[in-house]
Amino acid sequence: MQSNGSTTTRKFPFKIRMVPDELNARLLNDFHGEKTGFVQVGDDKWFFPSKYLKAAEHFYAFEARPSDVWVATYPRSGTTWTQEMVWMLCNKLDAVAARSEPLTKRFPFFEFHIYMHDLMKQQFLSENPDPADQQFIEAASTPAYEVLSAMSTRRFIKTHFPISLLPPSIFETGAKVIYIARNPADVVVSYYHLNKLYRTQGYTGDFATFYDYFENNLTAWSPYWTHLKQGWNARHLPNVLFMFYENMKADLPGTVRKVAQFLDTPLSDADVASLTEHLSVESFKKNPSLNGQELIKVGILNPSAQGFIRKGQVNASGEELTDEIRERLRKWTERNLEDTDLRFPVT
């Protein structure tokens, strides 16, 4: 097929298969936001909802620009934190502008529309008769590759796709990619709460069941370890900056300086201090442009679930991780680190 706004033809290189019927039925029973079923992509069996089938070639053929900045993570690995840092660095630390427009608009989520099942979209529309709210829902369900292709200004793009599913044009053009990795214990607890928070996911089960899905690569954007290893293996590319969430948390001013250097945006010491304060968890929770207020308003977020900005801590997994699950996590981690020099920072 032809890519958006380009004569380049790219063939999507991976096979896409529906998950087996029995497993699909169990998943649909636990994840109410998806109404059709789930697919697995390629030999790595990347896990996505059914709308990925029709969107895969569009994602792959998307034409990146040299000026693009992509933030790529497995979910709940410091994505929002890094997005806001990047946007501020590339926009002269304009906090007033940042607060006046939601991050979801300033920094489009490349693949979000595949999580907005058509039936869920209709439900959101029926719940929100106000024309402005309906317009917002329509915009949220529009493929970001269409929105981004029409943009004339510099583009900042969020994605949870692994390196292998990103548009090859990113690496051909030298567009900047910042990849963040976070330890699996903190990720899985935060991701559990996110799946309960987003009605587009609509997870209704308990944590033990969710952990089982996570370990067996049956949560969106999994497999987790393959995702991280691909990011780690890309760290030497000139257009890729790989960072650990744990190091970001331990030294945020140092992280700000590192990202500023990568993006070629010089900062004074006063700038670093100002941006560090802007990026604090306390500031995030009070900032309506970052904490999903626009999604709460139209009911995409479940008001009874924990908020989008949670603890932002390291090794704070808490009561969800029983001794049994901690031991499973330990063994799972050991098995998956055997063939790589990837190691999480000791905190």
CB atoms within 10 A of CB 198: 19
Question: What confidence score (pLDDT) does residue 314 get?
Answer: 55
Task: Give the pLDDT confidence of 165-200 residue by residue, as tens digits.
Answer: 999 999 999 999 999 999 999 999 999 999 999 999
Express as a percent the part of the chain with pLDDT over 70: 93
Residue 193 bears catalytic tag: no
Average pLDDT score over residue span 225-253: 98
Confidence label for 10 from pLDDT (cuts 50, 70 and 90): confident
Among 113, 160, 193, 227, the active-site one is 160
Q: Mean per-residue pLDDT for 61-90?
A: 97
Q: Give domain status of residue 203, yes or no.
A: yes
pLDDT of residue 22: 98
One-character DSSP codes across 83-119: HHHHHHHHTTT-HHHHHHS-HHHHS-BTTGGGGS-HH
> Does residue 17 belong to any structural domain of this protein?
no
- Is residue 91 included in any domain, yes or no? yes
Asked whether residue 345 is domain-assigned, the answer is: no
Range of the domain at 236: 64-337
Name the strand (E) or helix (H) holding 296: helix 293-297
Full 3-state SS string of 3-35? CCCCCCECCCCCCEEECCHHHHHHHHHHECCCC
Helix, coil or strand: residue 46: strand
What's residue 109's pLDDT? 98
Domain containing residue 320: CATH number:
3.40.50.300
Nearest by Cα to 245 from 195, 194, 312: 312
pTM metric for this prediction: 0.93
Report the candidate in 207, 234, 217, 200 with the shortest Cα–Cα distance to residue 308. 200
Please check whether residue 236 lies inside any domain of the structure: yes
**Is 9 among the domain residues?**
no
- pLDDT exceeds cutoff 90 at 2: no
pLDDT tens by residue, 91-133: 999 999 999 999 999 999 999 999 999 999 999 999 999 999 9
Q: How confident is the model at residue 307 (pLDDT cuts 50, 70, 90)?
A: low
pLDDT band at 1 (very low <50, low <70, confident <90, very high): very low
> What's the total number of domains in the chain?
1
* Arithmetic mean of pLDDT, 250-259: 98
Q: Is residue 58 part of a domain?
A: no
Say which residues have a Cβ less than 8 Å from residue 197's Cβ, sequence separation at least 6. Answer: 301, 302, 305, 306, 307, 308
The mean pLDDT value for 148-156 works out to: 97
Buried b (16+ CB within 10 A) or exposed e, 67-77: ebbbbbbbbbb
What is the DSSP code (8-state) at residue 164?
Answer: G
